[in-house]
Amino acid sequence: MRLFVNVLLSGVAQGMVFAAIALGLVLISRATGVINFAQGAMAMFTTFLAYTLLEHGIGYWPAFVATLAIGFVFGGLVERTLMRPLQGKSPLNAVIVTIGLLVVLEGLAGSIWGNTSRGFPAAFSQQGLAIGTTRVAFSTFDVFTVGAVVVLVAAIVALFRWTNLGLRMRAGAFAPEVARLLGVRVGRLFTLGWALACAAGSLAGLLVAPVSSFSPYYMDLYLIYGFVAAVLGGLVSPVGALVGGLVTGLATAFVGGYLGSNLEPMAALVLLLIVLMARPQGLFGTAIARRV
């Protein structure tokens, strides 16, 4: 029973982090049709910037906000400088550029901050909450993780659904030419999509760092799980990313807890396979109808 509860709770906390990464992938994919392989590396880089800010004695919360802002600007810059020239060319070009960016950022981070793993501070205590006399695998920091990701997803959903900007973003993603003809500056919206995605990535980076060995490579595996989560959710919907993250987190945790942790990555991929076979558009996707 105790094992079940602990596995369940750690799955939820883990799943939320996957969701944050998936959200970044979804935002870029739905805006520009590109899978950003540098999502994890960009998050890693901004988290290292946060680390530097903290080292200089800047308080956690100012650093936290600054990092999200840096992520936002960074994402926009990447779109403007690296991705924009590739627009209208084969999608493969864009994919290869993001892989290149991944390699460059990891190398750069290694040469600036070194390749050693280190600890990264958490916003709240990481000691499990006490229920009666026993502690469970869910800490105040995990509560914060869940809250932060849920708030972020809600904010993005609200942006898309209830604001004029969100409507234009959806229009720009759905039919760029038509939107352009109607006076929507689609290029700017692409930039915004990348900026939001990278800010979401920065949040994920800050949430993952304290529970992993923080080094230039710490996001690599998380990106894979995030990708699984994003595809599960259908690669188009923020809520899909959230649910996809949760399902991936729980599936890997239960497989790890009861069948052996070596099977965790395989569990994620088997899950991916099942969903792609049964529902190729993902749990929340509707892309098939449009693709015809």
Partner 1 sequence: MRRRGRRPVLYRSWVAVGAASVVLLAACGAGVGWTSGAGAASTTGVTKSSITIGATVPLTGPAAPGYSEIAPAMDAVFKWVNAHGGVYGRKIKYIYLNDKYDPSTTAKLTRKLVLTDHIFADVGSLGTPTDLAIQKYLHAEKVPHLFIESGCNCWSTSKYPEELGWQPPYTTDGKILGMYIKTHFPGKKIGELYQDTEFGKDFMKGIQMEVPASAIVSKQSYDVTTLAGAMTTQMAALQAAGAQVVAMATIPAATALAMLPAYAIGYTPQYVVDNVGADAPTVGPLLSSFTQLATKTSSKAAAAPGLLNGVITNIYMPAESTATNPWIKVEKAILEKYTTTTVWKKHGLDGNTEYGVALGYTFVQALQAAGKNLTRTSLMHALDTKAKSFHTPGLVPLRYSTKVHYGYMGSEVVQETTAAGTFKTPAGTWPSTKVLSPVYTTTTGRGPVKKYTGKVPSVPKALAKLAG
Query: What residue ranges bind partner 1 (CB under 8 A)?
Result: 2-3, 6-7, 10, 14, 51, 54-57, 59-61, 107, 110, 114-128, 130, 134-137, 139, 208-218, 220-222, 253, 256-257, 260-262, 264-265
Q: How far is the CB of 104 from partner 1 (least distance, A)?
A: 13
Only one residue has tokens 């709240």, namely: 124
Backbone angles phi, psi at 71, to 5 degrees: -60, -45
Measured from the CB atom, the residue of 45 and 218 that comes closer to partner 1 is 218
Q: How far is the CB of 132 from partner 1 (least distance, A)?
A: 11
Measured from the CB atom, the residue of 115 and 163 that comes closer to partner 1 is 115
Q: How far is the CB of 195 from partner 1 (least distance, A)?
A: 25
**Token digits for 235?**
């690669």
Measured from the CB atom, the residue of 43 and 83 that comes closer to partner 1 is 43
CB atoms within 10 A of CB 278: 8
Cα separation values, 12 from 19, 77, 147, 201, 220, Å: 10, 33, 12, 18, 20
Bridge partners (DSSP) listed for residue 128: 139
How far apart (Å, rounded) are the C-alpha atoms in residues 118 and 208? Answer: 13
Measured from the CB atom, the residue of 77 and 124 that comes closer to partner 1 is 124
Q: How far is the CB of 81 from partner 1 (least distance, A)?
A: 26
Q: How far is the CB of 3 from partner 1 (least distance, A)?
A: 4
Measured from the CB atom, the residue of 64 and 160 that comes closer to partner 1 is 64
Measured from the CB atom, the residue of 8 and 86 that comes closer to partner 1 is 8
Q: How far is the CB of 199 from partner 1 (least distance, A)?
A: 20
Q: How far is the CB of 35 from partner 1 (least distance, A)?
A: 20
Question: Which secondary-structure segment (H or E) carries 86?
Answer: none
Measured from the CB atom, the residue of 209 and 230 that comes closer to partner 1 is 209
Measured from the CB atom, the residue of 144 and 180 that comes closer to partner 1 is 144
For the chain, give the number of residues.
292
Q: How far is the CB of 37 from partner 1 (least distance, A)?
A: 17
CA atoms within 13 A of residue 241's CA, in its CB half-sphere: 32
**Token digits for 43?**
């998050």
How far apart (Å, rounded) are the C-alpha atoms in residues 274 and 292? Answer: 23
Cα separation values, 88 from 124, 150, 159, 177, 195, Å: 45, 34, 27, 12, 20
Give 264's contacts (C-beta < 8 A, 6+ positions apart): 252, 255, 256
CB atoms within 10 A of CB 287: 13
